[in-house]
Amino acid sequence: MKLLIVESPSKAKTIAKYLDGAYEVRASVGHVRDLPKSNKKALDIEGGFIPHYEISAGKEKIIADIKSLAKKSNEVILATDPDREGEAIAWHIKEVCGLKHAKRVAFHEITKEAIIEALKHPRDIDENLKEAQEARRVLDRLVGYDLSGIIWKKVRYGLSAGRVQSPALRIVMEREREIRAFVPVTYYVIAGEFSTVGRMKESKSYTLLLECEEQPKKKTEADRIVKEGRSGTWEVISLESTEVSRSPRAPFTTSTLQQTASSRLGYSPSRTMGIAQKLYEKGLITYMRTDSTTLSGQAIAEISTVIEKSFGKDLLQVRQYKTKSKNAQEAHEAIRPTHALSRSGGNTDDEKRLYSLIWERTVSSQMKDAKLKRSKVTANIQSKSIPDFSVTGSVVMYPGWLLVDQDARGDDVTLPDLKKGDQLNLKTLQAIEKATEPPNRYSEAGLIKELEKRGIGRPSTYASILSTIEARGYVDKINKSLYPTDTGEVVISFLEDNLPSYISDTFTADMEDKLDLIADGKATYLKTLKDFYGPFLKDVKSKEKLAKATNMGEAPDDLLCPLCKSHMVIKLARNGKFYSCSKYPTCTGARKIDGSIMEGPKKLGRECPKCNKGELMERDGRYGKFIACSNYPKCKYIEQDEELRKANSTGVSCNKCKDGYMEERKGRFGVFYSCSNYPDCKHIIKTRPTGNRCKWKKEDGTICGELMMEGTKTIPERCSDKLCPNHNPHKLDTEKTSKK
């Protein structure tokens, strides 16, 4: 028996279909092991940055299955993705499963021809690629762990920083500062509506919109141009026509695919990559993590056939594009359809739309230039005492590659047939006051383009960089634009002020270059990490004596503390910025960021029943009002507001402590139900309890007795205990059927 191992179950299914039973194909379902969360357990820094991996949760059964099949196999092939991460996954599978004689193959498209050809050339795992990926993983952990640690101490607990996410956030914040510092300048746009005068009675009259080629900054000058223009006689003073060529764009890389899918289809980078992954696994497109624009000779030949048959031989122009990336290293070919003869592909609407985008870009890249005629009409009054007015039109004369990529065509603007000296009848002329606008905020596509331009990250990381800074709450996406949040601003400002070199473009790009050197065998894992970590750790530790970064700036002079009338400062809370008295903690006066008074904790006149020392106080939290001890955090007694408790109570008694009732609560992951005696009783269920108890009889004859909770339309209720067979009645019914 022969065994072939890939990462994805759908990829395994596609490959098994092509191999006709010659191999047993199994999927590892991604990584089989990873670094643990604790940095102390994860890395032996003194021993030489040795990583200590742990088997990922839920992968034990998969590993056991691979081990069992490997023992029965006379050949084991590791066919994970053709990049550094794929090389690392292959190595992890080999190590965990003890596959001493396993070989590695790589292919950039899941087609029968590519797979069979790859199987003819098995090789050993590339240790350089594996070490480059391992160095990236360890480097990210070292930077993230230590930068996050100093931010926890000096800004707020629970925040984070990273080697590539922080430079991305810095770029967003730099643009925001440009916008804040921008001073608008007033200017005037002067436009006129004209009608052409037909040379003959039967000639058709056209309406032309001409705009002044100068935009005066002073109203007096704008008024003068309008006044003289209205009283003058207008005529055409020049006509220019030029033929220009538009060349097709290169085939997609990861970056350009994400940018184009964002602008044309409205897909986020993570959504684009998820759809592309499915297309790749189904064998419809080549590997989607690449910074190369190269097409193979076989692909060009097939594309040429498609163009000749569908559009004509005269539209074919074979081209090879140079890769712009300095160290293109992920895959060796652009993203393209595996079979260009198939114009459509995919099952879902998303898959079909993205496949069509890739197909059009790939095929059009091998077609002739489009030819456009650009015309410009310039007019003025006969005295020429005002600036020229003009309009430009563009018409496609020869479509070329635009026949395929029609979304890139744009609208034709046809100008009337005029001659120099022809008179124009002025219908309206007016000046519109405008102001210069600040630069636009980055969209997701725009930020990816900027990251690629600065050498930050790699094709496989662009989508995760964006999803990380959004998930961390450092940026908000509003109408496709990225806005830094208050938290994001505080974090990046602290890093810029205290550790600027580690979030700079040069540091991030230089580290990528060093990882490339490891991949090429020109640098070693240990020396690269050692040279970086010593100075880095010294710099981070030197910041531990800094005062805590609590203030974000000064409040307006007229905004005083509502309690003591002192000056106020801006501070950051979990829910955003607020104004705090500068004499805090002596004075606890505070205002919301809109200037309204923020009410502090309300004393209830009751002693804490837990510590018998503190006084109970009503506070406002993220999820509503609650009552807590004044000695928090030494005493962590907490209870809900009585009115809120009554509204949220289900009336179902807790079956753990017997005294409390199950109440609806809200947490960071949504609604859940817990005992009213929390924190003394920490019984929690995820779905609303029905009030019934589970009647499932255990093997020893006892009844389960756990709370039943709401189920689905097909299962009205189910047991809240995950270990009870009645927790998943569907599975139970399936098991009964299979036994029968």
Find the range with the poorest average confidence among 305-319, 473-487, 649-663.
649-663
For residues 346 and 279, is the Cβ–Cβ distance under 8 A? yes
Find the range with the poorest average confidence among 353-357, 461-465, 736-740.
736-740
**Confidence bin at 622 (pLDDT 50/70/90):** low
Q: How far is CA 649 from CA 641, 658, 676, in A?
A: 12, 15, 8
Q: Which architecture, in CATH terms, is 2-125?
A: 3-Layer(aba) Sandwich (3.40)
Mean pLDDT of the chain: 88
**Confidence bin at 616 (pLDDT 50/70/90):** confident
Distance of CA 536 to the CA centre of its chain: 28
Number of other CB atoms surrounding residue 542 within 10 Å: 11
CATH of span 141-182+442-541:
1.10.460.10
Q: How far is CA 646 from CA 608, 609, 650, 710, in A?
A: 21, 20, 9, 21
Q: Which helix (H) or strand (E) holds 569?
A: strand 568-573
Taking the CA atoms of residue 119, residue 120, residue 122 and residue 128 in that order, the dihedral angle to the nearest 10 degrees is: -100
Q: Identify which has the larger pLDDT, 522 or 698.
A: 522
Q: Where in the chain is the domain with CATH 1.10.290.10?
A: 254-368
Query: What pLDDT, on a 0 to 100 scale, did the predictor assign at position 740?
Result: 36
Domain 186-241+374-392+411-435 has CATH 2.40.420.20: no
The Cα 306–Cα 312 span in angstroms is: 9
Q: Where in the chain is the domain with CATH 3.40.50.140?
A: 2-125
Mean pLDDT, residues 90-108 taken together? 94
For residues 108 and 82, is the Cβ–Cβ distance under 8 A? yes
Mean pLDDT, residues 451-469 taken together? 88
DSSP string, 581-596: ETTTTT---EEETTSP
Q: Where in the chain is the domain with CATH 1.10.460.10?
A: 141-182+442-541
Q: Where in the chain is the domain with CATH 2.70.20.10?
A: 186-241+374-392+411-435
CATH of span 254-368:
1.10.290.10
pLDDT at 165 over 50: yes
Half-sphere exposure of residue 436: CA atoms within 13 angstroms, side-chain side: 12
pLDDT at 397 over 90: yes
Query: What pLDDT, on a 0 to 100 scale, did the predictor assign at position 577?
Result: 82
Q: How far is CA 321 from CA 247, 255, 365, 406, 648, in A?
A: 12, 16, 9, 21, 63
Give the pLDDT confidence of 70-81 residue by residue, as tens digits.
Answer: 999 999 999 999
Return the active site residues: 287
The Cα 350–Cα 278 span in angstroms is: 11
Query: What pLDDT, on a 0 to 100 scale, did the predictor assign at position 737?
Result: 37
% of the chain surpassing 90 pLDDT? 57
pLDDT at 733 over 60: no
Give the pLDDT confidence of 473-531 residue by residue, as tens digits.
Answer: 899 999 889 999 988 988 999 899 999 999 998 898 899 899 999 999 999 999 999 99
Query: What pLDDT, on a 0 to 100 scale, did the predictor assign at position 154?
Result: 84
pLDDT at 202 over 50: no
The Cα 608–Cα 637 span in angstroms is: 7
% of the chain surpassing 70 pLDDT? 93
What is the 8-class DSSP label of residue 688? -
Q: What share of the chain is helix, strand, coil (3-state, %, to 5)?
A: 35, 25, 40
